[in-house]
Structure 1
Amino acid sequence: MAGVRLLLLSDIHANFTALQAVLEDAEKRRYDQIIHLGDALGYGPHPHDVLEALRDLDAQCILGNHDQMLLEYVDGTRPYRESVVASVLKWQISRLTERDLRWIRTWRDGIDDAEVGARYRHGTPTSLDDYMDSVPAARAAFGQWQGMLAFVGHTHVPAVYATLNAPVGDWIKGHPLSDVTTYMVPPRVRVILNPGSVGQPRDHNPRASYAIFDTVRSAFEVFRVPYDIARTQEAIREAGLPEVLAARLSVGK
């Protein structure tokens, strides 16, 4: 198989300013394909712009829990209960086109990529909305999934979880990542890799997070990119969205 460099994005959450900064940074590093691991929507002020950018770049998009909830509100299959999440999704629906909605409906809840030998899913390799945020959670995920390589998002924190290609429980390690970090995947080790969040990091580092995975080198590189947070905050306030969504961007939580 010819090697590929995957640009791994997740949890943009309608933050187009952060996405622009990430794409500009990634362009300098070269990539062959974009994988978005879910939650393009929710929380942020730019739902249509984010979708248009991903579509124009021919990104492979995985369904996230916020994306799924938005479709359920559109279809009337989820009762509306007032909350920060629900109010933003309701506002975003009014900003999306029919073309946007048709495209979101094509996103799948997880994909197995035979060429790369990887599974892409939002929460864990076996769940759309469970969190891979601890060694016990990783142990459970490895027990339910027998693959070697998976990419997930959802936690908004870049990380690596690894175990030997052996009975689960023999050895599991978690590697929180920050700044420019390279993790070389060892031979015969099963890994679940998280690139962090483009649009709403939650590891107390407000810079946008993304990753590139090089299949030839088996290298997972996480990059952090500064962006104009004040610009996104201003757009959130102008849209009348909850103030907490603006405030949290400054502190990365």
Structure 2
Amino acid sequence: MEIGVVSDLHSNMVALDAVLRDLETENIENILCAGDLVGYYPFPNETVSRVRDLNALCVLGNHDFALVTETPRDFNRLAKRALDWNRRNLSEENLVYLEELPETRRLTLDGLDIFLAHGSPARPINEYIWEEDIDEHFLDVFFESPPDVVILGHTHRPYVKVVGDTLCMNPGSVGQPRDGDPRASFGVIDTESLEAEIRRVEYEIDWVAEETEEYLPRRLAERLYEGR
């Protein structure tokens, strides 16, 4: 079985559609989402509704949490303006969906023990875990019994790393990549071989940029072209 892994969608439905089309070409139906469905871009309802329709297994991200509670003061000006706009425009049904998302999930899928969070296992909402943080010490600190797979998001930078018998992945960001590559980033895990890869797909950035500039700060549109 192959599993699609996405994170940091950030209300960029156009990018999400491109990712899903790629997954559909290989009949990949099982999708895990490491949070941040909303924020930054102008398609919150379309994005959340699509994830719900997919029956994707998701966890709560920091932007999701901020939307259903109150935007933190430490959010930068652009992030706050976008999130406040997302909040005003999100349907009640989609708001309830975000409110009910768990902070972490530990599940069994095709025989694999999988841990899923947005930030870190200890601070799943907002702690950054970078590729260089992933080592045997990381697993020992956070897990009494390390899972087969650890999936994290939040950094918007993709990686795949194997530590001992554990596969660790950050799929990068669908909606706002920050590794210098503007293409939507996501991951695929093969449950039989326990191998994973990061994939990139192009999407219609111009369309998202135009819609963003109509409702939100222009700088958010410009970042899409820069991949940061």
- Taking structure 1 as the reference length, what is the TM-score of the superposition? 0.82
Q: Compared with structure 1, are the counterparts of its residues 233 and 126 closer, same or farther at alpha carbon in structure 2 (3 Å cutoff)?
A: same
Name the counterpart of 1:33. Answer: 30
2:94 to 100, 107, 130: 100
Instruction: Give the alignment of 1:133-212 within 5 angstroms.
Output: 133-135=130-132, 137-139=133-135, 141-146=138-143, 147-148=146-147, 149-164=149-164, 189-212=165-188
Distance 1:156 1:81 in 2: 16
Name the counterpart of 2:118. Answer: 122
The AA in structure 1 aligned to 2:57 is: Q
For residues 34-93 of structure 1, give each alpha carbon's deviation from its aligned partner in whole angstroms, at most 9, with x where no partner exists. 11110011111110110111111111111001000111129xxx6798722111111111
Q: Does 1:245 align with 2:220?
A: yes
For residues 84-109 of structure 1, give each alpha carbon's deviation from its aligned partner in whole angstroms, at most 9, with x where no partner exists. 21111111111111101111111000
Q: Give 1:155 deviation, angstroms.
A: 1.0
Q: After alignment, is 141-150 or 34-43 more displaced?
A: 141-150
Q: After alignment, is 200-209 or 153-162 more displaced?
A: 153-162
Q: Is the 8 A contact 2:159 2:198 kept in 1?
A: no
Bigger proportion of residues as helix: 2
Name the counterpart of 1:180. Answer: none
The AA in structure 1 aligned to 2:45 is: H
Instruction: Give the alignment of 1:49-88 within 5 angstroms.
Output: 49-73=46-70, 83-88=77-82
Q: Does 1:89 align with 2:64?
A: no
Q: Is the 8 A contact 1:8 1:213 kept in 2?
A: yes
The AA in structure 2 aligned to 1:247 is: E
Bigger Rg, which one: 1
Identity of aligned residues (%): 33
- Taking structure 2 as the reference length, what is the TM-score of the superposition? 0.90
Q: Is the 8 A contact 1:21 1:227 kept in 2?
A: yes
Q: Is the 8 A contact 1:206 1:251 kept in 2?
A: yes
Name the counterpart of 2:202. Answer: 226
Which segments of 5 or more consecutive residues in structure 2 lack a partner in the other structure? none
Q: Compared with structure 1, are the counterparts of its residues 141 and 126 closer, same or farther at alpha carbon in structure 2 (3 Å cutoff)?
A: farther
Distance 1:235 1:82 in 2: 21
Q: Compared with structure 1, are the counterparts of its residues 90 and 196 closer, same or farther at alpha carbon in structure 2 (3 Å cutoff)?
A: same
**Secondary structure at 1:199 match in 2:** coil
Q: Does 1:113 align with 2:107?
A: yes
What's the C-alpha RMSD, in Å, of the aligned pairs? 1.8
